[in-house]
């Protein structure tokens, strides 16, 4: 299976993996800044974006194997840097645990893989296309505000456009992976690369806040670098792009 990727820049390779119900556009506010320093490859995972469809119920191991094959297609030899967001953070961690020294550094944004139940955030059901564009955009804007972006003023028409594009092209349900208990801590213990985790301090998916996940990661690996951004939510690299770009570049250098 050939996975879609968007590439630009010069320098050492850096691969970006998007979150659930997402695509390469999750990195729209980071791609160009990172490409000034690295050869950046933003990957659409199987069942998302421009990549081929897969069964919505594909098991985690098979899904990760397809992403691993995609990484090897993009960077056939040598070491590379890797970053992942949300579901893509959990997938990136699982890949790094298997790839060993091929992953030079790993940067994760609000990663999944901590178990627990999906919090009740008051999300609205995504309407059918036949119910009209206005209702679709209203619902997606609401869902972005309660789950993805902490500052409601940053839920712009651009953000809704990106989310709408992703919703229409999502064919895989990654929640089973994101909600797998101990996935992240086990991956942290197995990987050999340096690790950075960036959280928006107001990430709605971290109940009651990000601190229990910070503690869990540090218990699994004492040298993990933790960065938090006050006032930012789950889609932290979109909402606080300048801060995240600077933190990633500082860590990746």
Domains of the chain plus CATH, in order, are 5-118+172-252 (3.40.50.1820)
Q: Are 183 and 94 in contact (CB under 8 A)?
A: yes
> ∠238-74-59 over CA atoms, to 5°?
75
Cα-trace Rg, the chain: 17
Q: Are 30 and 248 in contact (CB under 8 A)?
A: yes
CA distance 41 to 145: 28
pLDDT at 198: 99
pLDDT at 100: 97
| Residue 117 predicted with pLDDT over 90 | no
Average pLDDT of span 201-209: 96
- CA-nearest of 88, 48, 62 to 171 is 48
| Residue 201 predicted with pLDDT over 90 | yes
pLDDT at 165: 97
CA distance 212 to 114: 10
Percent of the chain with pLDDT over 90: 97
pLDDT at 129: 86
Q: Residue 118: pLDDT band by 50, 70, 90 thresholds?
A: confident
Average pLDDT of span 23-32: 98
Q: Which residue has the higher pLDDT, 129 or 205?
A: 205
pLDDT at 230: 98
Q: 175: part of which helix (H) or strand (E)?
A: helix 175-178
Residue 245: helix, strand or coil by DSSP? helix
Q: Are 84 and 14 in contact (CB under 8 A)?
A: no
Average pLDDT of span 82-100: 98
- CA-nearest of 240, 225, 154, 232 to 194 is 225
Q: Are 54 and 66 in contact (CB under 8 A)?
A: yes
Percent of the chain with pLDDT over 70: 100
Cis before 208 (ω within 30)? yes
pLDDT at 116: 84
Q: Residue 127: pLDDT band by 50, 70, 90 thresholds?
A: very high
Residue 234: helix, strand or coil by DSSP? coil
Q: Which tens digits make up the pLDDT trace of 50-83?
A: 999 999 999 999 999 999 999 999 999 999 999 9
Q: Which tens digits make up the pLDDT trace of 176-195?
A: 999 999 999 999 999 999 99
Q: Residue 4: pLDDT band by 50, 70, 90 thresholds?
A: very high
**DSSP code for 230:** T
pLDDT at 210: 98
**DSSP code for 148:** I
Average predicted confidence (pLDDT) for the chain? 97
């Amino acid at each position: 299976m050939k996975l879609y990727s968007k590439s630009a820049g010069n320098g050492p390779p850096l691969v970006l993996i998007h979150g659930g119900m997402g695509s390469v556009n999750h990195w729209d506010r980071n791609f160009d800044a990172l490409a000034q320093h690295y050869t950046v490859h933003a990957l659409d995972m199987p069942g998302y974006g421009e990549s081929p469809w897969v069964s919505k119920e594909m098991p985690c191991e098979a899904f990760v194997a397809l992403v691993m094959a995609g990484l090897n297609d993009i960077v056939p030899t040598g070491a590379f840097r890797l970053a992942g967001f949300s579901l893509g953070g959990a997938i990136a961690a699982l890949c790094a645990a298997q790839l060993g020294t091929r992953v030079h550094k790993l940067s994760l944004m609000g990663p999944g893989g901590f178990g627990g139940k999906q919090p009740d955030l008051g999300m609205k059901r995504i309407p059918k296309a036949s119910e009209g564009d206005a209702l679709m955009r209203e619902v997606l804007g609401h869902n972005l505000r309660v789950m993805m972006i902490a500052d409601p003023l940053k839920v712009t028409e651009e953000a809704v456009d990106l989310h709408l594009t992703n919703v229409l092209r999502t064919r895989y349900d990654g929640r089973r992976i994101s909600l797998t208990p101990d996935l992240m801590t086990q991956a942290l213990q197995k990987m050999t690369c340096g690790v950075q985790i960036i959280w928006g301090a107001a990430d709605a998916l971290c109940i009651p806040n990000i601190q229990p996940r910070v503690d869990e990661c540090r218990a699994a690996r004492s040298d993990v670098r933790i960065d938090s951004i006050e006032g930012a939510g789950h889609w932290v690299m979109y909402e606080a792009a300048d801060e995240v770009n600077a933190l990633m570049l500082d860590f990746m250098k």
